[in-house]
């Protein structure tokens, strides 16, 4: 059996890091097991689904390193769903209901007042043909419910009917179908709710494993029943914990909270996002993993906690810095060239500045410091007192002759220490500010060589 998984986003907004957790879990599971990954757009809601969102989802997944083996659109499969509906109707497992939303709500409240579970009482099964015709004459159109197999002979006398599965993440699970309402599969306007297209597609596409958020655990019982009603063996299920914001709020595509596109535009590395999305809320340490192959080695569904995981953007910053600080020059080279950073000094420059980067594009700032002109001269440089300016000008007199190497900085500062008596911060900080305009940054021993004698002398005078 070839492992086949799917990620089925609705193209009604931009995917966020919580959706990414599901996509990556499926992708990594498929890759670890030599399987296939299907990207299946749940776009049966024609009005809300937008092609621009579908394109954005594809871009986001590609940026993360997820390349589908197959792409499907549910909006192109309505004929398949119609056949499934007819099969259920012929089997007596799909029945029409004419209640309005207001009528259903009144019944729910009445059941609660009687201390009964607020589930649908299957009243529509009692309708006669004449009553159905009367509703049709009023202009009512039915919605269609799936008759759950939670009774022996009389659908109005339900009995405990347990559905069991061994969840890949949560272990043995049980859902009692008698505690559930018959799910609506088809709306009054003939459009489909999530369950019918999803199960039908999983059957047709040979999906063997469904890995998704644990907000679907209760739904799984009814879906397993629907798989069997359509003559199929249910796949293996796994339900991972959900991500929330640091304050505990759920993530939403509609709000754009922590969307992958916004994280990309903010300059985060894809593997920083992927590392956090996969490892947070598990027994694995959240570390910056350099590529998908290494992340697959850390990926373990059984290590995922059953509690919700809180996403802290500060952790993403930490992971991003860690990836940049360890990034080899060969990996950085093409991106540096896109920033017009190239030539013989490019490698030395990268190895010098990478430890001070929060985002990759920050390298352009340091290249300007190394290779360009500062926005002010010594007289306008911030943070310097008159004594410091005098010290800097005098330091020019003791600067070593070219050629320079990494030892030049120590040779120079040793001379200054011996002649002026300055040491520590009082010695180094004025020189750093005069040379770079910054109070923090890479090692001056390395920066000095990159800046070179000519620029150094011009900045000190």
- Which residues make up each annotated binding site? 253
Residues listed for the chain: 461
Burial 313-332 (b: 16+ CB within 10 A, else e): eebbebbbbbbbeebeeeeb
Q: Which residue, among 300, 308, 267, has the nearest Cα to 283 in the 3D structure?
A: 300
- H-helix segments, 280-357: 292-298, 313-326, 329-338, 346-353
**How far apart are alpha carbons 360 and 381 in whole angstroms?**
27
Does an H or E element contain 350, and which? Answer: helix 346-353
Structure tokens at 283: 């027994």
Q: Which residue, among 145, 227, 228, 140, has the nearest Cα to 185 in the 3D structure?
A: 145
Q: Can you say which residues are annotated as belonging to the binding site for ATP? A: 253
Strand-pair partners of 210: 237
**How far apart are alpha carbons 184 and 222 in whole angstroms?**
11
Which residue's structure tokens are 């535009």?
A: 265
Which residue's structure tokens are 């953007």?
A: 313
Maximum alpha-carbon separation in the chain: 109
């Amino acid at each position: 059996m070839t492992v086949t998984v799917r990620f089925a986003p609705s193209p009604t907004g931009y995917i966020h890091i919580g959706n990414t957790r599901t996509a990556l879990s499926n992708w990594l599971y498929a890759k670890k097991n030599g399987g296939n990954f299907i990207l299946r757009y749940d776009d049966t809601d024609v009005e809300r689904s937008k092609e621009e969102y579908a394109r954005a989802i594809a871009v986001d997944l590609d940026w993360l390193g997820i390349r589908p083996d197959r792409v499907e659109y549910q909006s192109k499969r309505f004929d398949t769903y119609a056949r499934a509906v007819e099969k259920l109707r012929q089997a007596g497992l799909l029945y029409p209901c004419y209640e309005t939303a207001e009528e259903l709500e009144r019944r729910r409240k009445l059941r609660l007042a009687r201390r009964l579970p607020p589930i649908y009482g299957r009243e529509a099964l009692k309708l006669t043909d004449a009553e159905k015709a009367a509703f049709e004459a009023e202009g009512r159109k039915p919605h269609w419910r799936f008759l759950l197999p939670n009774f022996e002979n009389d659908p109005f006398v339900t009995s405990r009917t347990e559905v069991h599965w061994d969840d890949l993440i949560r272990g043995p699970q049980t859902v009692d179908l008698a505690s559930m309402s018959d799910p609506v599969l088809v709306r009054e306007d003939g459009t489909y709710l999530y369950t019918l297209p999803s199960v039908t597609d999983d059957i047709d596409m040979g999906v063997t494993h469904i890995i998704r958020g644990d907000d679907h655990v209760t739904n799984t019982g009814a879906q397993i029943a629907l798989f069997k009603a359509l003559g199929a063996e249910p796949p293996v299920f796994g339900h991972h914990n959900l991500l929330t914001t640091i304050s505990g709020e759920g993530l939403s595509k509609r709000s754009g909270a922590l969307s992958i596109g916004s994280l990309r535009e903010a300059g985060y590395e894809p593997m920083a996002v992927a590392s956090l999305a996969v490892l947070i809320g598990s027994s694995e340490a959240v570390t910056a993993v350099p590529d998908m192959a290494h992340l697959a080695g850390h990926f373990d569904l059984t290590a995922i906690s059953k509690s919700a995981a809180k996403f802290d953007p500060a952790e993403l910053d930490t992971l991003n810095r860690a990836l940049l600080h360890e990034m080899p020059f060969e990996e950085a080279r093409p991106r540096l060239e896109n920033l017009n950073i190239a030539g013989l000094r490019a490698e030395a420059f990268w190895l010098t500045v990478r430890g001070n980067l929060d985002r990759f594009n920050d390298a352009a700032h340091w290249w300007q410091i190394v290779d360009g002109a500062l926005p002010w001269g010594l007289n306008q440089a911030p943070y310097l007192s008159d004594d410091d300016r005098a010290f800097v000008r005098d330091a020019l007199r003791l600067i070593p002759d070219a050629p320079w190497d990494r030892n030049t900085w120590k040779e120079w500062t040793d001379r200054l220490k011996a002649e002026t008596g300055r040491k520590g911060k009082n010695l180094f900080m004025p020189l750093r500010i005069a040379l770079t305009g910054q109070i923090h940054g890479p090692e001056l021993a390395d920066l000095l060589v990159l800046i070179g004698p000519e620029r150094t002398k011009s900045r000190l005078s």
